[in-house]
Amino acid sequence: MTFVQLIECRTSRLDEMNRLMDEWVEKTKGKRTATHAVVGTDRSDASHVVEIVEFPSYEEAMRNSNLPETDQVFRDMVALCDEMPTFTDLDVVRDAQLAEDTARRLFEVLATPGDLPPLNDLLDEDVHSVDPVNPGPTIGLDAVRAEFRMWRGAFDFAFTVEDLVAQTGRACARWTWDATHTGDFLGIAPTGKRVTMTGMTMCGFGPDGKITELWWQHDQLGLMQQLGALEPLER
């Protein structure tokens, strides 16, 4: 079970504390068991510092605590604090990966038959989409929806998300696209051919959790060869 430790302290020497933490990370490289750490200051009281540290389990957290470097950094940290730090140990009972869920929903919605939904629950009004098919970025929700409609008008398709990695403010998906060519695509009349394409999409998120940026990379050359618009490369 994922384990999180909440550390709170008060200090007027935050810069020194940051340098101390950097030194500790360097000294414990290869031995530290934490998987994620976030440090924040209270907007209403800058001396109130909160650190949230995530571990794969309570046992891994204890291994981390028992490192000699951890004992030393704790003593050094106390010396920089205005009062004794407090520790709260938390067993994680729910972990919602919102960026990952939003990215998956986008691929599901794009392949749903029927009219394309407004997408304003997933995409920011000022979303930027960069696709190698286009000479430049597509800007704005209406323009991005029009681009999606172009693909939907040319193909009946489905996405299979093979891998998806998410972190704060970013999600990257590796996908396979299976489609039937049913409409005009870049001047190519419908062929009825079954085609497939692999690609990756990076999503950037705004503070409200909506996607603000999309970067697409896909095998456009392979797609054009399958449609008969280009000769296959000789091996």
Query: In DSSP terms, which residues pair with 3 in a beta bridge?
Result: 55, 91
- pLDDT higher than threshold 70 for residue 74: yes
- The pTM of this model reads 0.67
At 233, the pLDDT band (50, 70, 90 cuts) reads low
Can you tell me the distance from the alpha carbon of 64 to that of 77, in angstroms, rounded to the nearest whole number?
16
At 130, the pLDDT band (50, 70, 90 cuts) reads very high
Q: Which residue is it, tokens 């998120």?
A: 205
Q: Which of 11, 13, 20, 5 is nearest to 72 (CA)?
A: 20
Which of these ranges, 81-90, 92-101, 115-124, 157-166, has the smallest mean pLDDT?
Answer: 92-101
Per-residue pLDDT, 159: 97
Give the DSSP letter string of 192-203.
Answer: --EEEEEEEEEE
Mean pLDDT across 78-96: 88
**Proportion of the chain above pLDDT 70, given as a percent:** 97
Q: What does the mean pLDDT of the chain come to?
A: 92
Per-residue pLDDT, 31: 84
At 89, the pLDDT band (50, 70, 90 cuts) reads very high
> Domains in the chain, please, with CATH?
3-91 (3.30.70.100), 98-226 (3.10.450.50)
Counting Cα atoms < 13 Å in the Cβ hemisphere of 30 gives 1
Per-residue pLDDT, 96: 62
Per-residue pLDDT, 125: 97
Per-residue pLDDT, 219: 94
